[in-house]
Amino acid sequence: MSNFKYHILVCGGTGCRASHSDQIIANFNQLLADKGLSKDVQVVTTGCFGFCEKGPIVKMLPDNTFYTSVKPEDCREIIEEHIVKGRKVNRLLYLNPETKEHIEDSKHMGFYQKQLRVALRNCGFIDPENIDEYFARDGYAALAQVLEQNDPKATIEIIKKAGLRGRGGAGFPTGLKWELAAKSEGDEKYVVCNADEGDPGAFMDRSILEGDPHTVLEAMAINGFCIGASKGLIYIRAEYPLAIRRLQIAIKQATEYGLLGKNIMGTDFSFTIELKYGAGAFVCGEETALIHSMEGNRGEPTFKPPFPAQQGYLKKPTNVNNVETYANIPVILLKGWEWFSSIGTEKSKGTKVFALAGKINNVGLIEVPMGITLREVIYEIGGGIKDGKKFKAVQTGGPSGGCLTEKFLDTPIDYDSLLAAGSMMGSGGMIVMDEDDCMVSVARFYLDFTVEESCGKCAPCRIGNKRLCEILDKITHGHGTMEDLENLSNLAGVIKDASLCGLGQTSPNPVLSTIDNFWDEYVAHVVDKKCPAGQCKALKRYMIDPDACIGCTACARACPVGAITGEKKMVHEINQETCIKCGACYEKCKFNAIFIK
């Protein structure tokens, strides 16, 4: 039995590692060895805690102290104060921004209070590179149970009754998908895990794979047993090196224990898992494109039917599920469908993981029960808008989703309500915007992304999106007309109706939803040639206030294009024709004499 008196959990997710959490771990181990405490204190590298805003996170147990923004040089103080003297290091505790009080443990932080961790249950709790810790958390028990019962139909029935829907975005019922693949005839079938997470700002799947890789392997094996497949493939983007490494370690460990490979747990069931690396094309998250890419062909979608369940990888029946969907499977089987279906709303059961990003105080990874409102997520978990600015919109569903405004803040988060509000669940990216964000530019940003990522196979998506992007470009440069706005809506509608796959069918959503919700802002750009948020560079005008200018010539000297003229100690002037709107004069002026119009 281990005799550790303290556990120090250090986040080893990509975000915290970028802020030197690996150095923190090394420092802790060194300090403990120096003090002869290595037998008393265990340092554990875990997956993501979710509170990325204040990373690196260090959690001390058993007293559950939560240290934020820890630097490698803080390690000595933590060991000497917390471990040796039993005193908490107050300056590293989370500071409640409202009450200005230190909060000792995560349970009392607003960020964690409304969360319910199902898919992320082991993230930030176990060491992802140690299968023993996964065993201690009921790891592989669901697989063992399923194999022991030896009734694939009954297992699929449980998943169906639980009401689990695909977490990749579209929300197709998972049990039904499995049933279709199970019913398909084929001498060989495949199970594919879609880990091609491509939405800008989304990192749910990466965090699950980095923090709890075994849960995905276990669920894939269960999936294989249920549909009669003996081979699993994980399609993961090569930009996720840490997730790949942890998956490789996990596959090796599971194989050594006989939980993957031939005759698993002494049964006739054999199952192996192989990794396939994607090159980071957004369209390869679409299941038919993903399958083509795995086969070594161009990552282009094809028309459905035939569905992958009938004819997928190598023309064999294939079941494709997303990482987060898989992460829910073992828990459902162990805790029962009744438990799972008691969480969430009528048609959307369970929880959903979101990556909070943008102008929000608590950027990070959260998991909430379905049916929670956007307001709760943004204000209570997310801690509100940065720098006390005003909320403008929240973008859900990535480049395929839409922007939701203040009037939708009380919308419950589930597949159907978000769709009805003009956005979608998507894979879970949630980007918050404040009053300084120009919605036309936001739409243009997403369009830029889709143009880049369109595979080019069908004309509406390839050409249509390019044209949409050009029109938006024209508007943000102040050359737009009312006719352009009309063309935008019409063209968006055509692209939506006529595109081949999900990418094209949803790519105009950011345009349509911003036109719906921010029509005035479009009009301001077109008619008044003004950008209300002051973001569109071409529409900005730098002016000099003659009352405030003392003629110090600082601005004229800073101007790279010589657009500012004026005698010493006389009021200066900016030539709008020559001005390139770089803002250098604005930064330079010490008398607040330069303003933006």
Give me the least distance between CB of 103 and another protein, in Å please: 12
Give me the least distance between CB of 220 and another protein, in Å please: 17
Distance of alpha carbon 285 from alpha carbon 551, whole angstroms: 58
Give me the least distance between CB of 147 and another protein, in Å please: 8
Give me the least distance between CB of 256 and another protein, in Å please: 5
Give me the least distance between CB of 145 and another protein, in Å please: 6
SS3 5: coil
- Residues 6 or more apart whose CB falls under 8 angstroms from that of 463 comprise none
Q: What is the identity of the amino acid at 11?
A: C
The nearer residue to another protein, 7 or 375, going by C-beta atoms, is 7
Taking each helix axis as running N to C, give the angle between helix 213-227 and helix 241-256, from 0 to 180 degrees, rounded to the nearest 10.
60
Taking each helix axis as running N to C, give the angle between helix 174-183 and helix 213-227, from 0 to 180 degrees, rounded to the nearest 10.
40
Angle at 489 between CA 488 and CA 491, to 5 degrees: 65
Give me the least distance between CB of 268 and another protein, in Å please: 13
Taking each helix axis as running N to C, give the angle between helix 323-335 and helix 141-149, from 0 to 180 degrees, rounded to the nearest 10.
70
Give me the least distance between CB of 125 and another protein, in Å please: 6
End-to-end alpha carbon distance in the chain:
70
Give me the least distance between CB of 45 and another protein, in Å please: 14
Whether 156 and 179 have beta carbons less than 8 Å apart is answered as yes
- Residues 6 or more apart whose CB falls under 8 angstroms from that of 563 comprise 574, 575, 576, 577, 578, 579, 580
For β-strands 564-565 and 231-237, DSSP reports them as unpaired
Token representation of residue 291: 């399958």
Whether 392 and 437 have beta carbons less than 8 Å apart is answered as yes
Give me the least distance between CB of 235 and another protein, in Å please: 28
Distance of alpha carbon 554 from alpha carbon 568, whole angstroms: 10
The nearer residue to another protein, 41 or 357, going by C-beta atoms, is 41
Ramachandran angles phi, psi of 465, nearest 5°:
-65, -35
Give me the least distance between CB of 172 and another protein, in Å please: 31
Among all chains, which residue has been given the structure tokens 């069908």? 458
Give me the least distance between CB of 265 and another protein, in Å please: 5
For β-strands 318-322 and 542-544, DSSP reports them as unpaired
Concatenating the DSSP letter of every residue in 421-478 gives: TT---TTSEEEEEETT--HHHHHHHHHHHHHHH--S-SHIIIIIHHHHHHHHHHHHTT
What is the sign of the dihedral through the CA atoms of 87, 88, 90 and 95?
negative
Judged by the rule CB under 8 A, the positions of this chain that interact with another protein are 1-7, 9, 59, 61-64, 84-87, 105, 107, 125-126, 132-133, 135-141, 144-145, 147-148, 256-259, 265-266
What are 235's strand-pairing partners? 194, 276
